[in-house]
Amino acid sequence: MPPRELTPELRHRRQHRRTTATILVVILMLFFAFWYAYSYYRSSTGEAAPPTSGSSCRPFDPKAATAANTTVNVYNATTKKGLAARTATELKRRGFTVGDVSNDPLKRKVAGAAEVRFGPSGKSRAQLLVPLGGKGTTQIADKRKGATVDLVLGATFTSLAPAPKATGKPMCPSPSTVPSSAPSATASAS
């Protein structure tokens, strides 16, 4: 049997199908090329970073011990002149509130680096100072009223130890210190 000759109409339909299929393949290739380029661009700019679950800080707790809400009395139990004053200045730089700065009123001999003295309500605040006293710092609980803590510098104390590395999330700022984004009533009245 001789090969069958296609009619012009049938040839036209086949050619139209091939052209349509080719155009669809090209359109799909372009779509995926643009999609890949767009996703690459978004990932390089950090625009598509997934939202983090929770916040970047733990809720504000006004009762939590922080340097800002801790008052420290700095006492010198050595014969080194000016040791308490220098240490008090460094504590202020680190955000603590400094109370009394003088020689140890109990006149006790402190053999180690330092003593941290505190009452029942100052226990959590004392924990902030113990690492700063350095190796050999001891804690002494007494019956004082209030949360004030004493840092008594001993014979082997030279300077404050570096602040320990923070673990976990930092505390969010106090809601009273966060600036308001709402316009004030006086600003809208003018």
113-122 pLDDT, tens digit per residue, is: 999 999 998 8
Task: Based on the fold, state whether residues 76 and 149 are members of the same structural domain.
Answer: yes
State both tokens at 105. Answer: 């009123």
With respect to residue 57, please indicate whether it lies within any of the assigned structural domains. no
Average pLDDT over residues 139-156: 91
**25 plus 88 within the same structural domain:** no
24 in a structural domain:
yes
d(CA 177, CA 190): 26
Q: 97 and 145, same structural domain?
A: yes
Q: pTM above 0.75?
A: no
Number of structural domains in the chain: 2
Query: Domain containing 133 — which CATH number?
Result: 3.30.70.2390
Using a pLDDT cut of 70, give the percent of the chain over it.
Answer: 76
Model confidence at 62, pLDDT cuts 50, 70, 90, reads: low
Shared domain check, 75 and 147:
yes
Torsion of CA 27, 33, 36, 38, to 10 degrees: -80
At 102, is the pLDDT very low, low, confident or very high (cuts 50, 70, 90)?
very high
> Which comes out higher in pLDDT, residue 184 or 107?
107
Q: What is the residue range of 22's domain?
A: 12-41
The encoded tokens of residue 185 equal 């009533």
Which pLDDT score is estimated for 74?
A: 94
Together in a domain, 76 and 30: no
Q: Backbone dihedral region of 146: left (phi > 0), alpha (psi from -120 to 50 degrees) or beta?
A: left
Determine, yes or no, domain membership for 111. Answer: yes
Q: How confident is the model at residue 174 (pLDDT cuts 50, 70, 90)?
A: low
Domain presence at residue 183: no
Instruction: Please give the average per-residue pLDDT across 56-65, as a whole number.
Output: 66
> End-to-end alpha-carbon separation of the chain, Å?
98
Is residue 179 domain-resident? no
Same domain assignment for residues 89 and 144:
yes
Shared-domain flag, residues 79 and 117: yes
Counting every residue, how long is the chain? 190
H/E segment holding residue 88:
helix 83-93
Classify residue 37: in a domain, yes or no.
yes
Question: What is the model's pLDDT at position 57?
Answer: 72
Rounded Cα distance, 117 and 143, in Å: 10
Residue 92 lies in a domain: yes
pLDDT at 125: 87
Q: Residues 6 or more apart from 68 whose CB is under 8 A from it?
A: 95, 96, 97
The reply to whether 75 and 140 lie within a common domain is yes
Residue 2 covered by a domain:
no
* Rounded distance between C-alpha atoms, residue 69 and residue 96, angstroms: 7
What's the whole-number mean pLDDT along residues 96-100? 92
Distance CA 74, CA 92 (A): 11
Indicate whether 77 and 121 sit together in one domain.
yes
Close Cβ partners of 66 (under 8 Å, ≥ 6 residues apart): 95, 128, 171
Q: Measure Cα distances from 5 to 102, 104, 115 in Å.
A: 115, 116, 108
Residues 29, 87 within the same domain = no
